[in-house]
């Protein structure tokens, strides 16, 4: 632990009156004292209502929806008799229906929130009250309490670690819930408190902590403990944060510093924003427009009414006097305005909103039910957690993905190696040729080795043969792997070995050595015991030259039983290859070729080397090392120089290649999504737990090295600084791993023109690098003969448009610290433009907040739909920020899932979610909306035309029951069925032709233009709907001589033809007639006639003569051939032009989906030929990566023996300890998952971190 | 070792969990069998040509049959100018005024002949006019018409309710028209039927007289609407079944028209004697008792004689509309054929 500096009095001691908390004072075991400050209790509340407040609050919220208020307003209008042109029930029935449905849904949601709140608040924890430990619920824990945690318990609040069962007050925590990192971390109590190990001592503890106010910085804490007149500085190293889980530690005590909503977890959870889809927003705009249109129509008709009453109505007063209170034509016009607002309001019926919700709910169920998105291994089906975003899934343009646990399984597999110029690991067939993928022979049989890990698989038998034949290079190679690492071993019973590696890479390497007969068995601070081909050999461990980010290598110096001192080193190729002895030149060339090959396959590579040390030299070096390590100042510099000195002139042994196992189907998914024109940005936090942002790490001005040189596929290593000045301990962090992943998931490909890496540490550098990238891209597009379009675009002087015209594929890799600058207000646009011009963007070492910022940035400047996918708590902010958040479920941490809108357990399901469900949802929603607006305009505008013939008196054309039922009964179900079930092309085709996804991104199916087309069609229909019957009825008589043109017959004729026309239209729109569609369409027609005859029946009239005035109308009117001829003519005239237009459009400008349908129809057998191209594996590109995902300092811990209770030293006691159960479970879990399943919680990825 | 069980925090393998795997049903997997109609050239063209043919033939039939309808329409609003002037002053409401209109039939009108009165510019479809009635009252029920929509024709100032109430009833057409056949200087009154002109449902269901031993007592305590010349129970003193609310003229009037210009069936020619085949050619005259004022609202009154065919009376619109749309559909069919053959892009989308 580094010695903290004296903590300055940073925070004013007083709390600003009424303002935010500026500093926090907490005294242990002093509830009264702490109560003064009124800190938040540990009770959390995410629910919105309780039983009493539900109704008023919910109604209040609902009436904040413009639509609901609008309908309430209409209802009030209808209650005024002078203007009521419709009965009140035409509005109140749908309104009450809508409000009830929404309220029920809200109530259910809130009930589940209550339940989860209760569950969390009622968790038990042991609180020290009055010297005794008492079981208390979490919500009763107060700031200043001392609580006891036991192994595997969740930390209840943000605690200051006081003491633990482990020596030196150490305790191990897992922070997966908090930051998504699945490795274990070590926290340590400050020495003075680590003595307080029993309750009596703790009860007397009365230290006072003065610290920072609550904030959301997970990796920072500053405060001071005042105790016994001493000051002790506190840092994040001493804190246990809520959401962590205690591991491998029997118990520990902690002092509550922040509770409930003040905890860093809750502060980080951010506010949940109500997400709306772009269709929602468009719909709201359109509804406003329609409302404007409505007012216009109202005004026109009101003016008409005023004129009519002035010219005609006045004379007509003998038969129809004006209402009381109406004394002028003008006032009559005013009243008629409101009357018309009432009858024309059906252009936006309230059922629109309900129907949209119903359709989305249906789509959500389809997602939940999808068997192809069910992961049998984890038993998790996909889940649509938000039911209101479905159609937006069909419009995604940007995907922001987390890496670890989302794209990768966080499982490292030893896959290839190069030993002494010979490459092993290619899958070979019987004849020794490289086998094609997919025809794998049997894996290598390791049964000769009783200690072999049964899960390890290797496909190349020649390596084992080489071991068996005693090839000294191969032996030395595996010896190095078994010695040079910081892995801990654990042997529960004889031969049952478990490795606990700090990084999964190391675990993979040591496991490989183990299977090939060099079994790392146990270690002590000074020795390492290895079973070499069955022979136990104990090496004396002289030194661990630990890894750090600048060195990018680690070495051990061991003395073999024979007494020879040897240094074993493994590290990044770029670093190590320069440190080899010149005699290695030839071997280096061969190995480099191999490295290129490995890197080309997206493998993470490491170079291994050794060096024999003279006894004398070592003595001398060791002496100097000792002095350096005890030096007071510049200790790190001096150590680094010494390490540097000894790791020189080494002999090359070979190289390893580790596969960072991708989740199943990731490359294919990414390839398909890319073909669907979706841009994928990987934002990875990649083991960046601590605040390691390397401010000013001495890399400034070093532009040539790590500036914006393109990585000419393989030149990454060169691009990156070979070493940095010693002393900048927190220096450069690797984008390489991320780049590797980029390649292996087919995000980056060899076809790419250039890959830019931005790693600048200052604002200027980053700006410069971004500028260079843009220049390069523009130069390229200019030189590629794209000059014309370039010039043209330039005139518009918008950089964005220039960059959009760029030819060639580029990729951008940006580091966290550069990103911090790039996201500043004055640079974000530049960054965005550069990034958006690239086909792929990878941001590494990104903090959770930055993830959200990146998403926010794209949302802000690009009018594009964004989707964020992640599995860890560190992705929560991004998931919440993006338009759509997807959580990977079935893992231990569920924070991401809880924050997400959709969840499933495999990244590959994303393609199905977007290309199938999203696409269909979008298509269906668009078709639904088009039809819906159409049918209501066709329905309502008839009143408008009728207005010109009825003295603008707001007389409706239809019976009021027809008006009430039209949207609820007669026309709702067919369009709902279409909105829920329609399919334009079968699901397989969506995957085969990812381009089918594009209309959604371009928003082609429902936009303002489409809306106007629908409206126009609706108005056209309404015109015919009114004027054809008008033409027929005026002066016409029935076949029995009676008048035909009575109002009621006219109403029935228009209503019937309307229902038939819109039914035919929905039939035309429905592309997928399931039985349900048939049932609803025919059923609606049948229902119309049934209800019509029922409403016009004698008995109903006898009961309510004033309500059912249309008695006898149906049978009298519909018996007339003229009426049916009118209906038929109306239908033909309304529908045939639509058919003609649709067919011509289809014939002349077919959409891709039309073509796909057409092709299917004629069954052309081109499927195989045009299947989406599967990219062939990349070959031979020089690009390196190195496999360390280490943190430094672990070596020190081993050598000090501090953590040796975990090691073989304490093995006998360890097995009896509870944590053994954890290992056991992990092993079981991993075993059950198999080697491909991958769970980040698998044993291999449990890493310890100090 | 005893602590091992206690501390396991991951779900155990053996633990039985209900399967969360979704059902493999066609519905849930969106694999329901479905008919996937598509617009192909064959279906589109056949539908257009079929529609065209259908419309054309129906249109021709309609025009032919409509042409066989004989119709005579006589505007008598100006021919009785004296009467119309008299009626402009409402104080003369009880003064009788008669006029006659002569016309000549050049050829016989064969078949059933219907006589209509036609009104122009009379807004029966005005909202306030249309709601101003009480169907409950017309059903003969003793309902409180105070609460009905009949205003302002509900009650008189002294509280006497109007029977029937409302603006529609009040404004009932009350001219009486008789038709005379001038044969060789003798004048024969053409026998006209005044019942059987309304819908059966109206006559038997929708309109009922209040029940009482006789009609006048049934309407006791009510008064006629202000514009009426006689109370409702005297509408047809000759025929008990055509009196009161069930009077055919009243029922027909109460079935309000959809438009401001309309014709209502008034009488049918009774096919007896020389009128057994219809109206023979010759000179005729209408004798009109002019009661209904129209000049105030710039209206016109007509009297119409017409026959009907299966599609109703003379109505050229429907036939013409059918012919036009049939032609349009056929033409569109040809246009589509041409466009499809000439302009359509080769289906090359896939070859990209």
Distance from CA of A870 to the nearest CA of B (A): 22
C-alpha to C-alpha distance for B135 and B150, rounded to whole angstroms = 10
What pLDDT band is residue A1194 in, cutting at 50, 70 and 90? low
Map tokens 């097995």 to a residue. A1215
Query: Nearest Cβ partner of A1098 from B126, B205, B260?
Result: B205
Mutation target for A interface from B91, B127, B147, B348: give the one with most A CBs within 10 A: B127
Q: Compute how many other C-beta atoms are within 10 angstroms of the C-beta atom of residue A849.
A: 18
What pLDDT band is residue A22 in, cutting at 50, 70 and 90? confident
With contacts defined as CB-CB under 8 Å, which chain A residues touch B306? 1037, 1041
pLDDT digits (tens, 9 = 90+) for A170-219: 888 877 666 655 567 778 888 888 888 788 888 888 888 888 888 877 77
Judged by CB atoms closer than 8 Å, whether chains meet at B257 and A1147 is answered as: no
Considering only residues A189 and A574, tell me which one the structure prediction assigns the higher pLDDT.
A189
Query: Nearest Cβ partner of B13 from A1166, A1170, A1232?
Result: A1232
Predicted local distance difference test score (pLDDT) of residue B346? 54
Considering only residues A705 and B73, tell me which one the structure prediction assigns the higher pLDDT.
B73
For residues B310, B316, B317, B322, the Cα torsion angle rounded to the nearest 10 degrees is 70
Predicted local distance difference test score (pLDDT) of residue A20? 64
Considering only residues A524 and A714, tell me which one the structure prediction assigns the higher pLDDT.
A524
Distance from CA of B163 to the nearest CA of A (A): 16
Predicted local distance difference test score (pLDDT) of residue B9? 38
Judged by CB atoms closer than 8 Å, whether chains meet at B349 and A1150 is answered as: yes
Predicted local distance difference test score (pLDDT) of residue B221? 84
Query: Nearest Cβ partner of A1041 from B20, B255, B268?
Result: B268
**Three state DSSP letters for B264-278:** EEEEEECCCHHHCCE
Cβ–Cβ under 8 Å, residues A902 and A367: yes
CA atoms within 13 A on the CB side of B114: 27
A1167 touches chain B (CB under 8 A): no
Does A1210 have pLDDT greater than 80?
Answer: no
Q: What is the sign, positive or negative, of the torsion defined by CA atoms of A1097, A1098, A1103, A1104?
A: positive
What pLDDT band is residue A268 in, cutting at 50, 70 and 90? low
Helix (H, G, I), strand (E, B) or coil at A61: helix
What angle in degrees, to the nearest 10, is found between the helix axes of A919-947 and A329-344?
150
Helix (H, G, I), strand (E, B) or coil at B250: helix
Query: Nearest Cβ partner of B318 from A1126, A1144, A1158?
Result: A1126
Judged by CB atoms closer than 8 Å, whether chains meet at A950 and B132 is answered as: no
Instruction: Pick the residue from chain A with its C-alpha nearest to B310.
Output: A1039
Q: Say how far residue A895 (Cα) sits from the centre of its chain.
A: 12
pLDDT digits (tens, 9 = 90+) for B86-124: 777 767 767 788 888 889 988 888 888 999 999 998 999
pLDDT digits (tens, 9 = 90+) for A98-139: 788 888 888 888 888 888 888 888 888 888 887 788 888 888
C-alpha to C-alpha distance for B316 and A655, rounded to whole angstroms = 95
The pLDDT > 70 percentage for chain B reads 91
pLDDT digits (tens, 9 = 90+) for A285-343: 888 899 899 999 999 999 999 999 988 888 888 888 888 778 888 898 999 999 999 88
B167 touches chain A (CB under 8 A): yes
Question: Which DSSP symbol is given to A272?
Answer: P
Predicted local distance difference test score (pLDDT) of residue B343? 75
Predicted local distance difference test score (pLDDT) of residue A1201? 60
Helix (H, G, I), strand (E, B) or coil at A248: coil
Q: Respond yes or no on whether ipTM tops 0.90.
A: yes
Does A928 have pLDDT greater than 90?
Answer: yes
- Give A1102-1138 as a DSSP string: HH-TTT-TTTTHHHHHTT-HHHHHHHHHHHHHHHHHH
pLDDT digits (tens, 9 = 90+) for B236-273: 888 888 888 999 999 999 999 999 999 999 999 999 88
Q: What is the mean pLDDT of residues A1003-1019?
A: 92
pLDDT digits (tens, 9 = 90+) for A1026-1058: 999 999 998 888 888 888 888 999 999 999 999
Instruction: Pick the residue from chain B with its C-alpha nearest to A376.
Output: B21
Distance from CA of A1151 to the nearest CA of B (A): 9
Closest CA to A918 of A926, A864, A1009, A872: A926
Cβ–Cβ under 8 Å, residues A187 and A173: yes
Predicted local distance difference test score (pLDDT) of residue A754? 77
pLDDT digits (tens, 9 = 90+) for A912-924: 999 999 999 999 9
Does A691 have pLDDT greater than 70?
Answer: no
Identify which of A2-6, A890-894, B53-57 has the greatest average pLDDT. B53-57
Does A1247 have pLDDT greater than 70?
Answer: no
Question: How distant, in Å, are the alpha carbons of A885, A953, A1202, B195, B273 from that of A938?
Answer: 39, 20, 81, 40, 53
Cβ-Cβ contacts under 8 Å for A1041 (sequence gap 6 or more): B112, B114, B197, B265, B268, B306, B308, B313
Does A230 have pLDDT greater than 50?
Answer: yes
Predicted local distance difference test score (pLDDT) of residue A1196? 63
**Three state DSSP letters for A888-957:** ECCCCCCHHHHHCCEEECCCCHHHHHHHHHHHHHHHHHHHHHHHHHHHHHHHHHHHHHHHCCCCCCCCCC
- Give A833-852 as a DSSP string: HHHHHSSEEEEES--HHHHH
Predicted local distance difference test score (pLDDT) of residue A126? 87
Q: Say how far residue A794 (Cα) sits from the centre of its chain.
A: 36
Predicted local distance difference test score (pLDDT) of residue A1199? 65
> Which two three-digit tokens encode residue A791?
């010039």
C-alpha to C-alpha distance for A989 and A1154, rounded to whole angstroms = 12
Map tokens 């059950």 to a residue. A1232
What angle in degrees, to the nearest 10, is found between the helix axes of B41-67 and B316-342?
160
Cβ–Cβ under 8 Å, residues A865 and A278: yes
Phi, psi of A634 (to 5 degrees): 50, 35
pLDDT digits (tens, 9 = 90+) for A621-662: 888 888 887 776 777 788 888 888 888 888 898 898 888 778
Q: What is the mean pLDDT of residues A138-152?
A: 86
The pLDDT > 90 percentage for chain A reads 18
Phi, psi of A241 (to 5 degrees): -95, 150
What pLDDT band is residue A1182 in, cutting at 50, 70 and 90? very low
A1051 touches chain B (CB under 8 A): yes
CA atoms within 13 A on the CB side of B224: 14
pLDDT digits (tens, 9 = 90+) for A957-983: 998 889 888 988 899 899 999 999 999
Considering only residues A688 and A862, tell me which one the structure prediction assigns the higher pLDDT.
A862
With contacts defined as CB-CB under 8 Å, which chain A residues touch B254? none
C-alpha to C-alpha distance for A818 and A762, rounded to whole angstroms = 7
Cβ-Cβ contacts under 8 Å for A148 (sequence gap 6 or more): A125, A126, A127, A128, A133, A251, A252, A253
Binding-site residue set of A for Mg(2+): 402, 404, 871, 875
B312 touches chain A (CB under 8 A): yes
Lowest mean pLDDT among A610-614, A1227-1231, B52-56: A1227-1231
Chain A segment 1120-1139 residues within 8 A of B by beta carbon are 1120-1122, 1125-1126, 1129, 1132-1133, 1136, 1139
With contacts defined as CB-CB under 8 Å, which chain A residues touch B206? 1101, 1111-1112
What angle in degrees, to the nearest 10, is found between the helix axes of A278-308 and A329-344?
150
Predicted local distance difference test score (pLDDT) of residue A914? 92
Helix (H, G, I), strand (E, B) or coil at A441: coil
Predicted local distance difference test score (pLDDT) of residue A7? 35
Judged by CB atoms closer than 8 Å, whether chains meet at A1139 and B39 is answered as: yes
- Give B3-26 as a DSSP string: TTTTT--SPPTT------PPP--T
With contacts defined as CB-CB under 8 Å, which chain A residues touch B350? 1155, 1159, 1164, 1166, 1170
Considering only residues A436 and A175, tell me which one the structure prediction assigns the higher pLDDT.
A175
Chain A segment 295-334 residues within 8 A of B by beta carbon are 312, 315-316, 318-321, 323-324
Q: Compute how many other C-beta atoms are within 10 angstroms of the C-beta atom of residue A61.
A: 15
Preceding peptide of B152 cis, ω within 30°: yes
Q: Compute how many other C-beta atoms are within 10 angstroms of the C-beta atom of residue B190.
A: 20
* Burial state string for A913-947 with b = 16 or more CB within 10 A and e = fewer than 16: bbbbbbbbbbbbbbbbbbbbbbbbbbbbbbbbbbb
pLDDT averaged over every residue in chain B: 84
Predicted local distance difference test score (pLDDT) of residue A1133? 94
Beta bridge mates, B267: B115
Does A9 have pLDDT greater than 70?
Answer: no
Mutation target for A interface from B30, B264, B308: give the one with most A CBs within 10 A: B30
Predicted local distance difference test score (pLDDT) of residue A786? 45
Judged by CB atoms closer than 8 Å, whether chains meet at A1040 and B308 is answered as: yes
DSSP H/E element including A149: strand A146-150
Annotated catalytic residue: which of A145, A158, A370, A402?
A402
Global confidence as pTM:
0.80
A609 touches chain B (CB under 8 A): no
Binding-site residue set of A: 402-404, 506, 547, 570, 604, 684-686, 845, 851, 871, 874-875
Mutation target for B interface from A319, A924, A1144, A1148: give the one with most B CBs within 10 A: A319
Identify which of A408-417, A419-428, A844-853, B274-283 has the greatest average pLDDT. B274-283
Mutation target for B interface from A959, A1035, A1216, A1242: give the one with most B CBs within 10 A: A1035
Instruction: Pick the residue from chain B with its C-alpha nearest to A1154.
Output: B38
Predicted local distance difference test score (pLDDT) of residue A1214? 34
Annotation says A429 is catalytic: no
Q: Give long-range contacts, CB 8 A cutoff, 24+ apart: A130-138.
A: A130/A203, A131/A199, A131/A200, A131/A203, A132/A199, A133/A199, A138/A42, A138/A43
Cβ-Cβ contacts under 8 Å for A975 (sequence gap 6 or more): A355, A928, A931, A932, A935, A1066
Does A67 have pLDDT greater than 80?
Answer: no
C-alpha to C-alpha distance for A177 and A1189, rounded to whole angstroms = 21
pLDDT digits (tens, 9 = 90+) for A496-524: 787 877 677 788 888 888 888 888 888 88
Does A784 have pLDDT greater than 60?
Answer: no
Judged by CB atoms closer than 8 Å, whether chains meet at B200 and A1228 is answered as: no
Does B60 have pLDDT greater than 90?
Answer: yes
DSSP H/E element including B248: helix B248-254
With contacts defined as CB-CB under 8 Å, which chain B residues touch A152? 7, 9
pLDDT averaged over every residue in chain A: 78
Instruction: Pick the residue from chain B with its C-alpha nearest to A1170.
Output: B350
With contacts defined as CB-CB under 8 Å, which chain B residues touch A1228? 10, 12-13
Cβ–Cβ under 8 Å, residues A164 and A131: no
Predicted local distance difference test score (pLDDT) of residue B333? 94
With contacts defined as CB-CB under 8 Å, which chain A residues touch B32? 981, 1074-1076
Cβ-Cβ contacts under 8 Å for A186 (sequence gap 6 or more): A170, A171, A172, A173, A1197, A1203, A1248, A1249, A1250
Distance from CA of A653 to the nearest CA of B (A): 42
Instruction: Pick the residue from chain B with its C-alpha nearest to A1034.
Output: B262
Cβ–Cβ under 8 Å, residues B275 and B179: no
Q: Compute how many other C-beta atoms are within 10 angstroms of the C-beta atom of residue B35.
A: 12
- Give A292-313 as a DSSP string: HHHHHHHHHHHHHHHHHIIIII
């Amino acid at each position: 632990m580094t010695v903290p500096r004296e903590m300055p009095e940073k925070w004013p001691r007083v709390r600003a009156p009424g303002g935010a908390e500026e500093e926090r004072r907490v005294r242990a075991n002093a509830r009264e004292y702490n109560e003064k400050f009124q800190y938040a209790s540990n009770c959390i509340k995410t629910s919105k209502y309780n039983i009493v407040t539900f109704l008023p609050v919910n109604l209040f919220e609902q009436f904040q929806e413009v639509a609901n208020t609008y309908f309430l307003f209409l209802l009030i209008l209808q209650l005024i008799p002078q203007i009521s042109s419709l009965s009140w029930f035409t509005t109140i029935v749908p309104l009450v229906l809508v409000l009830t449905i929404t309220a029920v849904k809200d109530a259910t949601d809130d009930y589940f929130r209550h339940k989860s709140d209760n569950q969390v608040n009622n968790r038990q924890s042991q609180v020290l009250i009055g010297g005794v430990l008492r079981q208390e619920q979490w919500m009763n824990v107060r700031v200043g309490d001392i609580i006891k945690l036991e192994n595997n318990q969740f930390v209840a609040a943000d605690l200051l670690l006081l003491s633990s069962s482990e020596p030196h007050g150490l305790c191990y925590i897992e922070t997966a819930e908090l930051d998504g990192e699945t490795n274990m971390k070590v926290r340590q109590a400050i020495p003075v408190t680590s003595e307080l190990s029993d309750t009596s001592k703790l009860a007397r503890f009365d230290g006072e902590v003065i610290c920072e106010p609550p904030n959301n910085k997970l990796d920072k804490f500053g405060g001071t403990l005042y105790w016994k007149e001493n000051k002790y500085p506190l840092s994040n190293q001493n804190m246990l944060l809520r959401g962590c889980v205690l591991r491998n530690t029997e118990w520990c005590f902690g002092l509550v510093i922040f509770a409930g909503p003040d905890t860093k977890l809750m502060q980080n959870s951010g506010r949940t924003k109500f997400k709306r889809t772009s269709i929602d927003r468009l719909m709201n705009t359109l509804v406003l427009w329609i409302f404007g249109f409505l007012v216009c129509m109202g005004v026109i008709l009101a003016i008409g009414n005023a004129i009519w009453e002035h010219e005609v109505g006045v004379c007509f007063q003998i038969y129809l006097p004006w209402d009381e209170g109406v004394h002028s034509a003008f006032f009559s016009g005013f009243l008629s305005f409101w009357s018309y607002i009432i009858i024309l309001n059906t252009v936006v019926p309230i059922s629109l909103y309900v129907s949209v919700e119903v359709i989305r709910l249906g789509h959500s169920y389809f997602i939940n039910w999808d068997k192809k998105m069910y992961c049998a291994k984890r038993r998790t089906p996909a889940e649509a957690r938000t039911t209101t975003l479905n159609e937006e899934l069909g419009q995604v343009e940007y995907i922001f993905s987390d890496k670890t646990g989302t794209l990768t399984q966080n499982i490292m597999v030893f896959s290839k190696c190069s030993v002494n110029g010979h490459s092993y690991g290619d899958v070979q067939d019987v004849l020794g040729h490289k086998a094609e993928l997919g025809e794998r022979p049997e894996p290598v049989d390791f049964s000769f080795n009783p200690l072999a890990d049964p899960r390890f698989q290797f496909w190349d038998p020649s390596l084992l043969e080489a071991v068996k034949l005693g090839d000294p290079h191969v032996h030395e190679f595996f010896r190095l792997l078994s010695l040079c690492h910081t892995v801990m071993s654990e042997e529960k019973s004889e031969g049952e070995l478990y490795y606990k590696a700090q990084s999964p890479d190391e675990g993979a390497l040591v496991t490989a050595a183990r299977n090939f007969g060099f079994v790392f068995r146990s270690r002590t601070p000074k020795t390492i015991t290895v079973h070499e081909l069955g022979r136990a050999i104990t090496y004396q461990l002289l030194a661990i030259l630990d890894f750090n980010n600048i060195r990018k290598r680690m070495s051990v110096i061991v003395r073999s039983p024979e007494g020879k001192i040897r240094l074993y080193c493994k590290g990044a190729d770029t670093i190590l290859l320069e440190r080899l002895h010149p005699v290695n030149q030839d071997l280096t060339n061969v190995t480099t070729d191999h490295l290129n090959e490995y890197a080309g396959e997206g493998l993470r590579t490491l170079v291994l080397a050794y060096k024999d040390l003279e006894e004398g030299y070592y003595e001398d070096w060791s002496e100097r090392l000792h002095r350096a390590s005890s030096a007071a100042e510049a200790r790190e510099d001096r150590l680094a120089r010494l390490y540097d000195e000894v790791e020189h002139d080494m002999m090359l042994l070979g190289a390893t290649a580790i596969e960072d196992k991708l989740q199943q189907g990731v490359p294919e998914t990414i390839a398909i999504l890319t073909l669907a024109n979706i841009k994928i940005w990987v934002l990875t936090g990649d083991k960046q737990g601590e605040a390691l942002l390397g401010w000013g790490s001495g890399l400034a001005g070093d532009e040539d090295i790590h500036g914006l040189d393109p990585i000419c596929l393989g030149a990454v290593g060169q691009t990156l600084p070979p070493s940095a000045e010693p002393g900048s301990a927190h220096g450069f962090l690797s984008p390489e791993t991320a780049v590797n992943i980029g390649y292996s998931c087919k995000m980056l490909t060899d076809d790419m023109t250039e890959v830019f890496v931005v790693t600048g540490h200052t604002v200027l550098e980053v700006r410069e690098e971004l500028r260079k990238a843009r220049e390069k891209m523009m130069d390229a597009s200019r030189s590629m003969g794209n000059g014309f379009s370039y010039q043209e675009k330039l005139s518009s002087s918008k950089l964005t448009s220039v960059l959009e015209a760029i030819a060639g594929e580029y990729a951008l890799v940006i580091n966290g610290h550069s990103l911090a600058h790039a996201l500043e207000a004055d640079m974000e646009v530049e960054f965005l433009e550069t990034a958006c011009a690239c086909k792929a963007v990878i941001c590494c070492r990104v903090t959770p907040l930055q993830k959200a910022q990146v998403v926010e940035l794209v949302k802000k400047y690009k009018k594009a739909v964004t989707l964020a996918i992640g599995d860890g708590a560190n992705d929560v902010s991004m998931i919440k920020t993006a338009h759509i958040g997807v959580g990977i479920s079935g893992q231990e941490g569920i924070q991401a899932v809880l924050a997400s809108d959709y969840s499933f357990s495999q990244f590959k399901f994303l393609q199905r979610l977007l290309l199938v469900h999203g696409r269909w949802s979008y298509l269906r929603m668009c078709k639904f909306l088009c039809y819906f607006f159409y049918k209501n305009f066709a329905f309502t505008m008839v009143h408008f035309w009728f207005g010109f013939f009825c003295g603008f008196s707001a007389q409706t054309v239809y019976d009021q029951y027809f008006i009430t039922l039209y949207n609820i009964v007669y026309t709702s179900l067919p369009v709902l069925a279409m909105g829920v079930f329609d399919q334009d092309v079968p699901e397989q085709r969506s995957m085969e032709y990812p381009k089918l996804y594009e209309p959604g991104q371009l928003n082609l199916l429902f936009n303002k233009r489409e809306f106007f087309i629908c409206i126009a069609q609706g108005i056209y229909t309404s015109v015919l709907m009114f004027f054809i019957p008008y033409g027929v009825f005026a002066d016409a008589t029935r076949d029995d001589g009676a008048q035909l043109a009575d109002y009621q017959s006219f109403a029935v004729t228009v209503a019937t033809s309307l229902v038939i026309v819109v039914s035919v239209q929905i039939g035309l729109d429905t592309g997928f007639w399931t039985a349900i569609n048939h049932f609803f369409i025919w059923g609606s027609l049948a229902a119309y006639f049934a209800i019509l005859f029922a409403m016009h029946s004698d008995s109903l009239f006898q009961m309510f003569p004033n309500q059912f005035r249309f008695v006898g109308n149906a049978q009298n009117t519909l018996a007339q051939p003229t009426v049916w001829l009118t209906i038929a003519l109306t239908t033909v005239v309304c529908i045939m032009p639509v058919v003609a237009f649709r067919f011509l459009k289809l014939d002349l400008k077919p959409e891709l989906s039309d073509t796909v349908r057409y092709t299917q129809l004629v069954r052309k057998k081109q499927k195989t030929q045009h299947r989406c191209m599967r990219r062939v594996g990349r070959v031979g590109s020089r690009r390196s990566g190195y496999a360390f995902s280490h943190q430094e300092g672990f070596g020190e811990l081993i050598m000090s023996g501090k953590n040796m209770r975990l090691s073989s030293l304490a093995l006998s006691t360890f097995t009896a300890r509870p944590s053994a159960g954890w290992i056991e479970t992990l092993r079981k879990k991993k075993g059950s998952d198999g080697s491909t399943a991958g769970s980040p919680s698998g044993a291999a990825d449990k890493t310890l971190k100090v | 070792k005893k602590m091992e069980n206690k501390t396991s925090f991951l779900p155990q393998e053996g633990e039985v969990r209900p399967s969360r795997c979704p059902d493999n049903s066609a519905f849930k997997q969106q694999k329901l069998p479905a008919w996937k109609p598509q617009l192909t050239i064959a279906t589109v063209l056949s539908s257009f040509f079929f529609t065209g043919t259908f419309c054309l033939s129906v249109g021709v039939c309609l025009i032919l049959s409509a042409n066989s309808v004989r119709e005579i329409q006589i505007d008598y609003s100006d021919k009785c100018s004296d009467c119309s002037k008299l009626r402009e002053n409402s104080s003369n409401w009880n003064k009788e005024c008669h006029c006659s209109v002569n016309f000549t039939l050049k050829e016989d009108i064969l078949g059933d002949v219907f006589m209509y009165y036609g009104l122009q510019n009379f807004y029966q479809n005005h909202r306030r006019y249309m709601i101003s009635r009480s169907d409950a009252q017309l059903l003969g029920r003793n309902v409180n018409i105070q609460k009905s929509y009949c205003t302002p024709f509900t009650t008189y100032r002294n509280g006497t309710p109007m029977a029937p109430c409302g603006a529609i009833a009040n404004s009932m057409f009350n001219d009486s028209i008789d038709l005379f056949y001038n044969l060789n200087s003798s004048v024969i009154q053409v026998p006209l039927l005044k019942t059987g002109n309304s819908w059966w449902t109206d006559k038997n269901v929708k309109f009922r007289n209040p029940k009482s031993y006789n009609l006048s007592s049934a309407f006791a305590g009510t008064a006629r609407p202000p514009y009426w010349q006689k109370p409702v129970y005297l509408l047809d003193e000759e025929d008990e079944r055509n009196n009161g609310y069930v009077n055919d003229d009243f029922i027909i009037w109460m079935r309000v028209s959809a438009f401001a210009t309309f014709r209502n069936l008034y009488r049918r020619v009774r096919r007896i004697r020389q009128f057994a085949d219809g109206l023979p050619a010759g000179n005729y005259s209408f004798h009109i008792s002019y009661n209904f004022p129209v000049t105030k609202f710039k209206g016109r009154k007509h009297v119409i004689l017409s026959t009907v065919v299966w599609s109703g009376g003379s109505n050229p619109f429907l036939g013409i509309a059918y012919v036009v749309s049939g032609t349009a559909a056929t033409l569109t069919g040809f246009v589509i054929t041409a466009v499809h053959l000439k302009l359509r892009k080769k289906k090359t989308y896939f070859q990209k």
